[in-house]
Amino acid sequence: MLFIGAGLCGVTLYFLIENIALVYTLASNVGVIVSIAPFFTAVLAHFFLDGERLHKRFIVGFALALIGIILIGFNGSFILQLNPLGDLLAFVAPAVWAIYSVIMRKIGELPYHTIGATRKVFFYGLLFMLPALFLFEFHFDLGRFANMANLSNLLFLGLGASALCFVT
């Protein structure tokens, strides 16, 4: 059940919700909001993992980091543009990622090799992702792989930014 939950939350729901949020709000809003994922993770870990505590230093450090992230996100122009649906989805995404992170800590306590556990999580994530193809306008076209830019992006995201980072 842990692998199913991790695949659903960390592979399918997080990325699906974040990408849908990008349709409804600015990328800068999503970037700033999603960057609070470690805070949600720490809070959930405090409640669901033994020995995880929230300290005042964490709260102060998080607040300072968030202020810095917001200043970077505004990039010198203090124009606040809220898009409620997109921003709400952007808040849901890091909460889902926090659930994934706590589940992965639990999986880490099981007698599985890191690569084997990651493979199982990715399998269930893919399994849950397939129905989403029918909910959205997805057009399967192998011709897209003929474009070297598309192929390079896919390889980087699949091998570098996902598989390698999930294992390490």
Regarding whether 37 and 11 lie in a shared domain, the answer is: yes
The answer to whether 78 touches 28, Cβ cutoff 8 Å, is no
Give the position of tokens 């450090």: 61
pTM: 0.80
| Shared-domain flag, residues 145 and 108 | no
Q: Quote the CA–CA distance of 36 and 21 in Å, as a whole number.
A: 15
How many beta carbons lie within 10 A of that of residue 78, not counting itself? 7
Q: Which pair of tokens denotes residue 51?
A: 């020995």
Domain limits at 153?
139-168
Same domain for 86 and 167? no
Question: Could you tell me if 121 and 6 are in contact, meaning their C-beta atoms sit under 8 angstroms apart?
Answer: yes
pLDDT confidence band for 77 (50 / 70 / 90): low
Q: Give the model confidence (pLDDT) of 30-70 as tens digits.
A: 888 898 898 899 999 999 998 888 889 988 988 887 787 76
- Both 162 and 126 in one domain: the answer is no
